[in-house]
Chain A
Amino acid sequence: MKDLRDAAHRVVELALRQGAKQARATTYKNREIGLEWRDGRTEKTSEATSFGVSFQLYVDGRYASVRTSDLRPAALASFVTESVELARAIAADPFRELPDQALYEGRSSADLELVDPALASFDSHACRRTAKEFEDGARSGTSASAILSVTSGVSVNHSQSFCFASNGFQGDRSDAWITLWGEVSVKDPNGRRPEDGLYAAVRHLRDLPSSAALGEASTALAIGAIGAKKAETKVMTMVVENRVARRLAAALVSALTARRLQQQQSFLDGKLGARIGSKHFTVIDDPLVSRGLGSRHFDDEGIAAKKLVLVENGVLKGFYVDDYYGRKLHMAPTTGSPSNLLLRGGTGDLESLVRNTKDGVLVTGFLGGNANSTTGDYSLGVEGLRIRNGVRGEAIAETNISGNLLTLFQNLSAVGADPFPYSPTRFPTLVFDAVQFAGA
């Protein structure tokens, strides 16, 4: 960490000497090992350590944000000089300044358990063993003969960074995570080769699910997609499995940023304090979750991390407000980007929520589509299983859902108690009434 700290200080010092009024630098180092395994042997291995520095310059009321991986001292010095010149060449912006020091204060000192010492010795052999277990699990069942191919992979990341700002902020960050993923392709008599798979990303090795079990479940998913057909074009209930619910979270988050508000590109503009969803819709950004994949003590601008209530019982309560757009909008900064996004859990799990669904679709995957953050209109491809009278039916694919996000959130009728633990978006299983499906 000392080398990162020294480098960050050096860049800020150089920038100030070149005439910057303020500067902030973040230096980082990331070590990644990765292995991909396919059909009984290693497909690909990779390993590297990456370095770089990014910095923001505030020069004569002007602003530039730059990054380089060329850290040769002479190259870095001339890059700082050029970057100061770059800022000088553009228009002044009265809203550009480093954040008020008060925003740096109150930083939590809680141990977020972001580094598992056991991961340091998780080498490429361990990656290979774990990836192989996925395939062994995938091929362990009675449907193994339908399998065309199994690919799996493991990667381990160790990351360190140091951030220093000329108005008094400094902070360091170390974190590590391991990702396991795999995909199974199977033969469908109708000529398709449906593929499906599962993944898990965790900070602590002991939180990693069994690779073999993940493989076995992946095969079941792919086999379940055999014979998939379009759903009917009709209005039905939609049950969204927790592991794919983040697609809907992304549509919400993009409309919750202060930039979108200020640029008049958010359908949630003017709705603070208003109802935008059902009573089940409570969404919180919590940066201080122990072992959370999005956990942090401070954000990219150095703002001390705090819990941010975005939606409470259906009422819009907050936005992602960074320092710059906060100044433009006269709103108090919260944080500019999501950390861990939580949707308050209800009762039950996937099984009970499916059982309670009379006529609907269990969505196990999204395919493409988009949401218009200015208007809230969305149209997304989905795949999954038809549900009738609480029982899973045939596989469906080549089907779309569409509508407006405000209506969708209002129609959130039940929420599981099963947040997905392997993503920074920890959404549970969600049930929406009256969703327009378009298929056959």
Chain B
Amino acid sequence: MEVIKYANLAETLYKTELKNGLKVNLLPKQDFHKTYAVLTTDFGAIDLMFKATQNTEMITMPAGIAHFLEHKLFEKEDYDAFALFGKYGANANAYTGFTRTSYLFSTTRYLQENLNILLDFVQKPYFTEQLVAKEQNIIGQEIQMYEDEPGWQIYTGLLGAMYPNQALSQDIAGTIASISSITAEMLYQTYAAFYQPSNMNLFIVGNFEVQTVMDWIEDNQKQKVFTPKVDIQRGENIIQNDVVSQTVLNLNVQRPKVALGLRGYDSFPKGIAGLKYSLAISLAFDLLLGDTGNYYQQMYNDGIIDDSFSYDFEAQRGFHFVTISGETQQVERFKDTVNSILANAITELQAVAHNFELIKKEALGSNLGMLNSLEGIANQYDGELFDGANLLDEVALLEEITFNDVLTAFTQFINEAQVATVIVLPKEI
């Protein structure tokens, strides 16, 4: 087991890779009462194209299969995993993202029992045509429910504008049409490719004894037979095309909304450098658009933006982008102001360089604050994307980051980024 001490933070992380390839991170926090465990596969909604075995053709699965699989794993021949966690009073959940699927529980008692339930229900698939048909109805209803939500439509619209004609433009849950073609056979094929232990990681944080938990995990894994590791070959799930520069949606909203997406085309640094790059881009946008910047207060006072104004940087396997959005009665002024800042972005960024130390302090403080939450620590873990770096590593990276780092990363990003704009207007009634 590798032991990583974060002396400044009074934390110690234990990590290891089991014989079957499963990566395990253990972060004991003895002062806490609860333990939070997340089992994650490096597989999500965009991974539709892949080779099922080494020598076969590339196959393409229907949109929504990752989310469908996540739902179906809970239901077994003779039990329901949710109910089993419930027996021990634990809270369990799962979520599917674009590039990962996570299964989790939190508990203050019966850690071993709950841990076994988690490992067993995820590692023992059981799919039948009959159960698949039942799930098609349930998820179908869920999709219809989302479609009524303007927030969902705007986000999906923006992704569709940034990444047209590819998996990212589709909802994580898929469409009623796409999920209706899912079969039990497809679920088994997908499962076999992406739920190999070598493509998964287990992150446990909270009140436990490291060696005991490690033994429990190993005992559990020893009782199972895994097929030998097969290298995963994904197809071209991200397509290098241009963004759709403007989209107008008429939706059932009270106030108009503008959302800008800046799709990154520069090459995203590998490993921990990618985490540093991500922090740098986030800091750059804090400087440009945050409430200590040159524009925020003026835009606020002019009624161009309100409390709903926000921006965010997102980086996942194969793509990275920035979103800037807000509700506004002045759609054109919102667009013009943000676009003019972006058009001179490097000059604008240099103009607020004097705020850098302030912004950095703020980011450090908020990062430390996040360490109060076990869920925050475990959910932020991005596995291979940042070469195993976690929220604790971010603190050290933030301490050492300079304005020059920010300027360099930002210049690299902004010089090649393309802007997609989505405008949402209230439906004429």
Partners in one complex: no
Q: Which residues of B contact A (CB under 8 A)?
A: none
